Amino acid sequence: MNPVESLKAKVRDIPDFPKPGILFKDITPLVKDPASLRLAVHHLLHPFLGRDITAVAGMEARGFIFGALAAWELGVGFVPLRKPGKLPYNVQSVSYDLEYGSASLEAHIDAVGPGDKVLLIDDLLATGGTAQASCGLIESLGAEVVALGFVVELEALGGREKLAGYPVHSLLRF
C-alpha cells in the first residue's frame, strides 16, 4: 500500500458522534503519531510548493493543527478563522450549515486584504459548508482564495461540488 493510503488506518471511526447517525472521523491518532503527522503535512502541501501564496488560513479548531503547520512549511503567516466571540478586534462574520448543525466563523477585518493569495486548510471536507463559507469570508476581505487543502474528504457528502471553481486537494478520501 502506498504510504499516504496507509495513513487511513490512523483515522478512527466513532459511530454516532456528536449525534446519532454521524460516523465521526477522528484524526487524533494520526496527529499524535510523529511520522504520520509529518507525512500528512508533506503530502497535503505537495501541490502548493512554489505557488504564489501569501497566507494560510485555517478553520477553528482542527484546521488550526494543519493550517499552522502548513504556514510554517510554506514560510507564510497563519490566519485563524475563529468561532464567534473569540477574536478581540473588529471582525467579519459568516454563518453556514455543516454535517451535524450550523455554525459561524469570524476573521479580523485586517487579517487579509487585496493582493493576498490565500491557501485554506482544514482537517476534513464533509458537506463543504465550512469551506464554502470560509472562501466567502476571505473574499469579503478582498483577498483571493488560491486553493483549498484537506487531510480527509468524505466524498459521499459532496463538499467538492460545493467548491466548484476552486482547486481542491485532499489526501485521504473515504
Ligand X SMILES: O=P(O)(O)OC[C@H]1O[C@H](OP(=O)(O)OP(=O)(O)O)[C@H](O)[C@@H]1O
Ligand Y SMILES: Nc1ncnc2[nH]cnc12
51 is catalytic: no
Per partner kind, with CB cut-offs from 5 to 8 A, the member of ligand Y, ligand X, none near residue 35 is none
Catalytic residue among 60, 99, 106, 153: 99
Cβ contacts of 100-104, under 8 Å, gap ≥ 24: 100/18, 100/19, 100/22, 101/19, 103/130
Q: Is the dihedral of CA 11, 27, 127, 22 positive or negative?
A: positive
Is 98 near ligand Y (CB under 6 A)? yes
CB nearer ligand X, residue 26 or residue 142:
26
Q: How far is the CB of 42 from ligand Y (least distance, A)?
A: 22
Read off the DSSP letter of residue 82. B
Whether 95 contacts 125, CB under 8 Å = no
Among 24, 97, 108, 109, binds ligand Y (CB under 6 A): 24
The footprint of ligand X (CB under 6 A) covers: 59-63, 98-99, 103, 122-131, 159
Q: Which stretch binds ligand Y (CB under 6 A): 20-28, 33-41, 83-91, 104-112?
A: 20-28
Tell me the backbone φ, ψ of residue 16, rounded to 5 degrees: 60, 35
Q: Please state the separation of Cα 42 from the chain's center in Å.
A: 15
62 is catalytic: yes
Q: How far is the CB of 10 from ligand Y (least distance, A)?
A: 14
Contacts of 86 (CB under 8 A, 6+ apart): 60, 106
Give contact residues for ligand Y (rule: CB under 6 A). Answer: 22-25, 98-99, 124, 126, 154
Instruction: Please list the active-site residues.
Output: 62, 99
